[in-house]
Amino acid sequence: MNTIFFYIGSYFIGNFLTAHFLVKFIRKKGDIHTQGSGNPGARNIGRLYGKKAFVITFLGDALKGSLVILIGKILNLSEIELLFGLTLTVIGHIKPIIFHLKGGKGVSTFIGGIITFEPLLALLIIIVFIIIYPMSKSFTIAGLASFCMIPVAVSYLYKSMDLLFVLSTLIVIIILAHSENLFKKMGHT
């Protein structure tokens, strides 16, 4: 029963869009969905309101992923249950029912959760990003490429094909959330 509540709670934690509440705080009547790219994520709010807003939004959204993993650990859930909860949190961020399924891309939430799940993965993300970014000149492509290495690393560290499957599914969800941006970038090359 705890696991079901954990999964439902994970999705609704994902629905908390930091950018939405930050814009309401800054502008009183503002709606991030009608500003800039319309994406309620750290990059859009950073372009509109500066570095401080970027950092607050990134950390707020990352905290959601961390919180879900920490709650799952307190409940003594298995690794597979933790990662399924993180998947639901990312889906809740990308398709929040509270905001008519108009959410962000899920990157900050994923980063916060996956690093809380396994802190060593921070190093992997940074190294792959540093290698790929000079070639691609794209934060999106370098970031997604670094994420693609995570399922392999986790399945190796935990000796689990189940974790490989759940994480691969999660990465595909994040890539699909970025598909429009990726097609635009490929069209420019």
The yes-or-no verdict on residue 63 having pLDDT over 80 is: yes
pLDDT at 101 over 80: yes
- Is 109 within 8 Å of 62 (Cβ atoms)? yes
Reported as a single tens digit per residue, the pLDDT across 69-91 is: 999 999 999 999 999 999 999 99
Amino acid, res. 75: L
Q: Average the pLDDT over 173-188 and give the result.
A: 72
**Closest of 14, 13, 188, 186 to residue 107, by C-alpha:** 14
Q: What percent of the chain has pLDDT over 70?
A: 94
Instruction: Write phi, then psi, for 80 (nearest 5 degrees).
Output: -65, -40
Residues 140 and 135: their CA atoms lie apart, in Å, by: 12
Structural Rg of the chain based on CA atoms: 16
Residue 33 near residue 40, CB atoms below 8 Å: yes
15-29, 61-75, 159-173, 175-189: the lowest-pLDDT one: 175-189
Distance CA 99, CA 118 (A): 30
DSSP, residue by residue, 3-30: HHHHHHHHHHHHT--HHHHHHHHHHSS-
CB 148 within 8 A of CB 125: no
Q: How confident is the prediction for the chain on average, in pLDDT?
A: 90
Band of the pLDDT at 187, cuts 50, 70, 90?
low
Confidence at residue 25, expressed as pLDDT on a 0 to 100 scale: 84
- Contact assessment for residue 54 and residue 23, using Cβ atoms and an 8 Å cutoff: no
**Separation between Cα atoms, residue 108 and residue 110, nearest integer Å:** 5
Q: Is the predicted pLDDT of residue 182 greater than 80, yes or no?
A: no
Instruction: Tokens for 51, please give them.
Output: 């570095």
pLDDT at 189: 47
Summarised one tens digit per residue, pLDDT across range 6-60 is: 999 999 999 999 999 988 888 766 778 888 888 898 989 998 899 999 999 999 9
